[in-house]
Amino acid sequence: MSSMTTISIISFTFFLSLPPLTYSSYNITALFAFGDSTMDAGNNNHFNTPLRSDHLPYGRDLPQHVPKGRFSNGKLSTDYLVNILGLKELLPAFLNPNVTDNDLLTGVTFGSGGSGLDNLTTAVTGVLDLAKQFELFEEVLKRLRKVMGKEKAENVINNALFVISSGTNDMMYNAYGLPTRVLQFGSVQRYQDFLLQNLLSFIQKFGLQKLYGGGARRIMVAGLPPIGFKETLKGCCGTGLLEIGPGCNKLDITCVDASKYLFWDAVHPTQSGYCFLAHNARQTVLPYVTT
């Protein structure tokens, strides 16, 4: 497919090895995020699932110290990115009933905590899989075309940045939790290869056909690069080894200074961790998707 060569599919991890470039401005109109809890700003608040973070101590370091459904003590990397791009302060969850058509113009996140690249993962968690997230994106397209007209809506999408982050839950549930898939595939490595193939197939099927067909030209696949923090082996909440979602709550003792920690709970980065990711992306990724 010749059109594939015009799409920027970029990994944070890969570009951290390249020399930084800087630009004074970015030609990006909006940011749309897809994936798991690293992209979820509150979509799971609207599902009957234990995989929610709309309770303290999650969100304690947000501007109003109110938990919104982000799996961290504060902002996510996508929140920092939309601020860096000059779009808005925070990237809202699409399912937030307060999201307006005007909010859609500069982007939303469809991420859902507990989602993954393996259908078995969402069968267990009961949250939004990636296919459903892209169906919601199609709803956004329809709303934008209705409000702005087809030409202006396509301009927004043509110049938007699309971020996908997924895969951690698959390993946690199907490899290290109940090793169903490892037994099926024979090894962790083979299961990882299966997930990678699913990601590539997903990008080709939904990313190229639906996103590209909808006008998307900049698709970023996010990964976790090497990060230097004082504490990287445990999270800030509780013991930092087991607590996640409902297991991390206001009854747990939390660290005083979360900025020294890479992880907030047992698996999710702190606001500082997400900030590091976003600002590295600013220097090492954004220049390559804005030219």
Closest CA to 106 of 83, 84, 87: 87
Active-site hit among 36, 77, 268, 272: 268
Determine whether 268 is an active site residue. Answer: yes
Distance CA 24, CA 37 (A): 31
Determine whether 265 is an active site residue. Answer: yes
Contact 207, 137 (CB under 8 A): no
Distance CA 236, CA 256 (A): 8
| Six-digit token string for 134 | 């892209």
Determine whether 37 is an active site residue. Answer: yes
Active-site hit among 53, 129, 265, 272: 265
| Phi and psi, residue 161, nearest 5° | -105, 130
Active-site hit among 37, 53, 166, 272: 37
Distance CA 157, CA 165 (A): 19
Residues near 246 by Cβ (< 8 Å), separated by ≥ 6? 50, 52, 55
Residues near 160 by Cβ (< 8 Å), separated by ≥ 6? 28, 29, 30, 31, 32, 107, 215, 216, 218
Catalytic residues: 37, 265, 268
